[in-house]
Amino acid sequence: MAARGIASGNGNTAVVVGVLLVCAFLHAGVAESAEFIVGDGGGWSVNASSWANAKRFLGRDVLVFNYDPTALDVVKVSASEYEACAAPSGAKVLKSGADRVALALGPSYFICSVPAQCQAGIKMAVVARKQGRIGGAS
């Protein structure tokens, strides 16, 4: 995007500097990560999915799953496991009741592996993008 300004020579230094500043600003935005309490006050529940649909996530954002560990857990699964509500045997099960998960870029899928809970709706899919939160909803 800076190519035209550079190629056309004199008088465009300010444009080039401006472009560089904007790029630096955007880069700062990319580097910044945020923490989200899944479901806000409702925590990890049947409402987590609709909560997630209203958010924009970036790579490296951290999700905090708050829930009663005697009743629920959290397992990160694949898309097909998410659809099937089935955690593979040997999956890493989070069960502290306040689990923190940093998002990788792209889609992530979470379910509760306690029998019947995922089927009841305690599941959540999120997509972490490279950028796009600047000026947008949080």
Ligand X SMILES: *[C@@H]1O[C@H](CO)[C@@H](O)[C@H](O)[C@H]1NC(C)=O
Q: Let me know the angle formed at the C-alpha of 53 by 47 and 54, rounded to the nearest 5 degrees.
A: 100
* Residue 66 in contact with ligand X, rule: CB under 6 A: no
Calculate the alpha carbon distances from 85 to 21, 64, 79, 123 in Å.
46, 21, 10, 8
In the structure encoding, which two tokens stand for residue 76, read together? 């990160």
Binding test (CB under 6 A) with ligand X, winner from 38, 45, 58, 123: 45
* Residue 2 in contact with ligand X, rule: CB under 6 A: no
> Which residue stretch of 39-47, 65-73, 83-91, 98-106 sits at the interface with ligand X (rule: CB under 6 A)?
39-47
* Residue 117 in contact with ligand X, rule: CB under 6 A: no
Q: Give me the residues that bind ligand X (CB under 6 A), please.
A: 42, 45-47
